[in-house]
Structure 1
Amino acid sequence: MTGAEMLERFQRQGSERLARIYPDEQVKDLLDQIVAELQSFSDTAATEPINRLWSEQDLILISYGDSICAAGLAPVQVLCSFLEQHLSGIVNTVHLLPFFPYSSDDGFAVVDYQSVNPRLGDWGEIAAINRNFDLMVDLVINHVSSQHRWFQEYLHDEAPGKNYFITPPKDADLSHVVRPRQSPLLTEVETNRGSAKVWTTFSADQVDTNFSNPDVLLEYIKVLLFYLSQGARFIRLDAVAFLWKEWGTSCLNLPQTHEIVKLLRNIIETVAPKSVLLTETNLPHQQNLSYFGDSNEAHMVYQFSLSPLLLHGLYRGTSLYLCEWARSRCNAPPGCTFLNFTASHDGVGLRPLEGLLPQGEIDLLLHGMEKFGGLVSYKANDDGSRSPYEINIGYFDALKGTWLGDDCWQLARFLLAQTLMIGLRGIPALYLHSLLATPNDHDGVAQSGRARSINRHRWQQQELEELLDDQQSNQAKVFFELRRRLQIRRQQPAFHPDGRQEILHLGEYLFGFWRFSPDGKQKLFAVHNLTEQPRNLYVDGALDGQFNGRWVGLLTGEIVTSERAVIELPPYHVLWLAQQQE
């Protein structure tokens, strides 16, 4: 399909989408402006067809630009050097968390979408990472910093920003609005027109933009195209579920929001068909899945339920809830996939557990995480009460023990968690601090006053390199073993995100599954002992006759044959078995 044909297709798609969002009289002019932007972006040259957007070799690293620092060097330059030295050929994509000028929330209150925070580096340093790694870039689409030019224009009654924000009428019914914070929904500000109350879902410094004004949508389309022009292959839509507001509703997951996400996918498919759209919707499982649409919305959504379910399974020593969820609710539609992760820059979300784990089990988990040094953040409910929203803790320290207390199995338990995650169907993403077994940063919390700082440590390069050189440090043990396992994973076609997955019932203490390559040439069996006790896997009963011939353990090298009736699994052991070719 030529570029001209793709633009023609977009005009049809865009007209339908916009008609579901805006009044008829606004649609044609807005569509013409969007098409003009796309024509400026693309030279309408013929585009090669895209067979697959991903493969088993895709692995994403999540990091702030200043997660590793060294005196006299731009932090992004230090990160680039670390990645090239230690992770080249293993990680192929870097999710560089917001690297723009900001006023709060560690980058998610953006002051300027098209500039690099000079404290981190410049576009040259970003391009240096992009030379060896694909880039994931955040489009922080729901709100801007109160210092952003648009909001300053709003305060001074100047165009265009004076019409870019939301000031509900006094009689607006906001009682049903769902939000993840306890701060006021509306923030009073002084403008040239007098006092006004603006919509602030996340904080007083993060002011929601008004997408009912089509000019706002056009502004964000320009930002999206700019990121694509700077080499972004993955676009992450931050907090997108809160985008559209209507009085009397929850203002969450509204139909207009879904149409805007679909429109952005249509744009990407038109001008950058090798790029991937990812939605960040930290919500109950089924709401999160809704952003796949009918395989026409997000290419990829976060597997938010995995992190807390896996943490609970290892804390309690049971696979029951994890297995039930994975068997019944862990399927992506054709052409879509999950982003699997255990930890990120945020905490371990609790909303994704709704309907999956009894409240008593959640309460036990919260109590245990607080004993392991974690914190619990809360959200406000529409009845005036509050409820736990996320656990703030480093994932390494979250696994220092079980409901029975601290023990000696932290390393093995943590390695199992990461290995189970990278084996599941989808694209794995590892937070830099998981790779480095970073402990809870209580000093960071004390300095910032924010609970999330517990998992946003800034390493000094020299200290980190010394720890990695020390074979007895937790950092070296975790980093080099995970790197070895990731290297093995990349070589297995059965781990292709489009490969079939079959979750097995192996009893209360084991979690296992089959993975199959898309071409059917490789099948791989993975089993995990979620307890501190040795466990036996009885091959004939568990694997229903699929286990024939000679198999090799990819991680541990053992040979297993179908004549071996029982496989012995030490505490927190992981076994990846692939059939040995004749």
Structure 2
Amino acid sequence: MPYNTILADVQNKVRPLLVELYADSDKITDELCNRFVHLIDDHLEQRSEELKTFDKNNQADWFKSSETIGYVLYADLFSPEAPQGQKLDALKKQLNYFSKLGINLIHILPILKSSGDAGFAVDDYEKVDERFGTNEALQELISEFHQQGIHIALDFVLNHVSDKHAWAVAATSNDSHYHKFFIWSESGEPWEQVPDIFPDFAPGHWDYVKKLDQWIWSTFYKRRPLGYAKDQFDFAQWDLNYKNPDVLFGMLNYLLSLANWGVDVFRLDAVPFLWKERGTSCTSRPQVHTILKIFRLGLQSVAPRAVFLAEANQHFEQLVEYFGQGDEVQIAYHFSLMPYLWQAVTTGQVKNIQNVLTTRLPAIDKTHWWWVFSECHDDLSLEMLDAETAKKMADYFLDNGNLPFRQRQNEDFPRAISGTTFSLLQGDLEKIRLLWQLKLSLGWTPLFYMGEELGVENDLNYQKDPIRCKDSRFVKRVALTEERKNRRLQVESRESTWYNTLKELIAWRKQHPCLVKAPDFFDTGNPSVLGFAKQDEQQKMVIFANCSDLSQTVKVPSLGTMSLKPFEFLWKNVEI
């Protein structure tokens, strides 16, 4: 298709989407359409020949490969000994660590210039934070990892910017143009129905800006939340006003610039919060999906093999909406499954895993994709569970020395827990092995968090920091020193046992491509034993997972009677 024809096609596709958001007049729509096409044209010209070749040599659904195993890390914590400014160079030298473990997709947590929230308060979207290195160092890392068959995911924080971002600085300097990039209030009066994300240490959704004597919308970190007489933090995250098209195009420009660095997966941070409307919860509004469609169209026009990952901790019915009709995100974290994995290995109850993976699954399995995780850089969220189940799980983890996070005013238990996998399960490798086996066998792409493979424990040193001490999630953001990583080479060390256990399980997963498929559950007749089948063109297997600390017996008509030891994971090949 001729180049001009491609741009004309893009313009025709974006027009109705822009009308949905900014339907003031045909003239304004024409201007916005032209602006969109010119932005695409500029970034297409800037895309390197190396990346264009990479685009041609990779399949559009590369992320659905049965070989893909994901790993999440902080660049500074993974290479803590590396000098400031050389963290990315040090990470590049660790390629062998990932390859031997079987990792081929690495999510590097925020590395753009930032003033807080472990990188999620972005000061500059066009510059790598000097603590980690340079723009060139990141692009070299991506290029080298690509050559070794490893894809790279980065965060794209599109709901908010830090209060030190150029737009925010201009807005607080009485620049009328940039003042409209944000949402303001003279009173700071809370809007009803809006959720309180950080009630423990940054409550509400307004942040007081003393310089202007106004309140600005801030879903997450605030310097001075409503009700506080002085600043609580030395940074803030101010939500963007997507009702202003300049915000949309500004963020799209940032996105496409990062895509031209070679990023393969963009984790869309806090995506449900993009559109605010009084009288609603201001989450998952219809306009959010329109914005995603515009971003998806722009990204696919410039970097056709790059994909979106939704960070949308929503109920399942809302979560699946982020896939759209194949025109929004390609991947989503399976937030609905995650707490039930923990419930299974801590209580022996498995029915909820089957329930959540059966609900509406046939309709979405062929066109959409999940990242299956048990631990990440954030808390272990219990928000989706009923109060009784959430309290039981919270009590279990708190009794084991883990920390509370996010507590509702009307409840006597937290709705989230902070802790490493080791600490959450008291270092019980039998349970943890089963947890890993479930992640690797239930389907789609399994995800592992840094240190999970080394048996890293909670680290309370964050409590000595006057800012971080308020956020218990830092208990699991633990430095992986060279000494700690090298202990994986010492026979009989904890690190060696855990690393090699996971390495063997990942190798097993890759030997059986059918494991990437969605599970076909069957009744085992035992509430503690999960049973499911996996099948592709070459293989069919049945799997039994005993999530109880007692031996269990199951009877399956076609397979007979089987006995399983505590926390045993058993699989068998069967004829197709």
The alignment's TM-score, normalised by the length of structure 1, stands at 0.87
Taking the aligned partners of 1:368 and 1:251, their CA distance within structure 2 comes to: 33
* Residues 305-316 of structure 1: pairs in structure 2 closer than 5 A: 305-316=336-347
* Residues 390-429 of structure 1: pairs in structure 2 closer than 5 A: 390-400=416-426, 410-429=428-447
* Residues 288-307 of structure 1: pairs in structure 2 closer than 5 A: 288-307=319-338
Equivalent position of 1:22 in the other structure: 22
Fraction of identical pairs, as percent: 24
8 Å CA contact 2:484–2:495 kept in 1: the answer is no
Equivalent position of 1:552 in the other structure: none
Equivalent position of 1:63 in the other structure: 73
8 Å CA contact 2:551–2:566 kept in 1: the answer is yes
Moved over 6 A (4+): 44-47, 384-387
Higher alpha-carbon deviation: 69-78 or 259-268: 69-78
- Residue 511 in 1 paired to residue 537 in 2? no
Secondary structure of the structure 2 residue equivalent to 1:459: coil
1:271 is matched by which residue type in structure 2? Answer: V
Secondary structure of the structure 2 residue equivalent to 1:227: helix
- Residue 365 in 1 paired to residue 385 in 2? no
Deviation at 1:281, TM superposition (A): 0.8
Deviation at 1:380, TM superposition (A): 5.6
2:178 is matched by which residue type in structure 1? Answer: G
1:566 is matched by which residue type in structure 2? Answer: T
Equivalent position of 2:226 in the other structure: none
Taking the aligned partners of 2:5 and 2:566, their CA distance within structure 1 comes to: 58
| Equivalent residue in structure 2 for 1:281, among 309, 312, 316 | 312
Deviations 1:380-429 (A, max 9, x none): 67xx88973321111222122xxxxxxxx810100110110121222111
Change (3 A) 1:243 1:301: same
- Residue 352 in 1 paired to residue 384 in 2? yes
Secondary structure of the structure 2 residue equivalent to 1:94: strand
Deviation at 1:215, TM superposition (A): 0.3
8 Å CA contact 1:174–1:248 kept in 2: the answer is yes
Change (3 A) 1:2 1:368: farther
| Equivalent residue in structure 2 for 1:82, among 86, 94, 98 | 94
Equivalent position of 1:7 in the other structure: 7
Equivalent position of 2:227 in the other structure: none
Equivalent position of 1:206 in the other structure: 237
| Equivalent residue in structure 2 for 1:151, among 146, 163, 168 | 168
Change (3 A) 1:431 1:171: closer
Secondary structure of the structure 2 residue equivalent to 1:113: strand
| Equivalent residue in structure 2 for 1:568, among 539, 563, 566 | 563
| Equivalent residue in structure 2 for 1:161, among 178, 183, 193 | 178
8 Å CA contact 1:179–1:379 kept in 2: the answer is no
8 Å CA contact 2:60–2:304 kept in 1: the answer is no
8 Å CA contact 2:159–2:239 kept in 1: the answer is yes
Equivalent position of 1:551 in the other structure: none
8 Å CA contact 2:188–2:206 kept in 1: the answer is no
Change (3 A) 1:72 1:369: closer
Higher alpha-carbon deviation: 283-292 or 57-66: 283-292
Deviations 1:18-46 (A, max 9, x none): 11111233322122111111111225999
* Unpaired runs of at least 5, structure 1: 401-408, 548-564
Change (3 A) 1:446 1:422: farther
Deviation at 1:566, TM superposition (A): 3.2
8 Å CA contact 2:365–2:518 kept in 1: the answer is no
Change (3 A) 1:569 1:2: farther
Deviation at 1:265, TM superposition (A): 1.5
Deviation at 1:70, TM superposition (A): 4.7
Taking the aligned partners of 1:216 and 1:254, their CA distance within structure 2 comes to: 17
Higher alpha-carbon deviation: 160-169 or 274-283: 160-169
Secondary structure of the structure 2 residue equivalent to 1:263: helix
Change (3 A) 1:471 1:349: same
| Equivalent residue in structure 2 for 1:487, among 498, 503, 507 | 507
| Equivalent residue in structure 2 for 1:123, among 115, 135, 157 | 135
1:40 is matched by which residue type in structure 2? Answer: D
8 Å CA contact 1:101–1:110 kept in 2: the answer is yes
Secondary structure of the structure 1 residue equivalent to 2:259: helix
Deviations 1:308-331 (A, max 9, x none): 111112111221222222233555
8 Å CA contact 1:181–1:378 kept in 2: the answer is yes
8 Å CA contact 1:90–1:486 kept in 2: the answer is yes
2:221 is matched by which residue type in structure 1? Answer: S
Change (3 A) 1:179 1:83: farther
Taking the aligned partners of 1:18 and 1:362, their CA distance within structure 2 comes to: 42
Higher alpha-carbon deviation: 70-79 or 388-397: 70-79
1:369 is matched by which residue type in structure 2? Answer: F
Higher alpha-carbon deviation: 87-96 or 97-106: 87-96
Change (3 A) 1:255 1:168: farther
Secondary structure of the structure 2 residue equivalent to 1:365: helix
2:510 is matched by which residue type in structure 1? Answer: R
Equivalent position of 1:175 in the other structure: 192
8 Å CA contact 1:76–1:121 kept in 2: the answer is yes
Taking the aligned partners of 2:407 and 2:341, their CA distance within structure 1 comes to: 23
- Residue 440 in 1 paired to residue 461 in 2? no
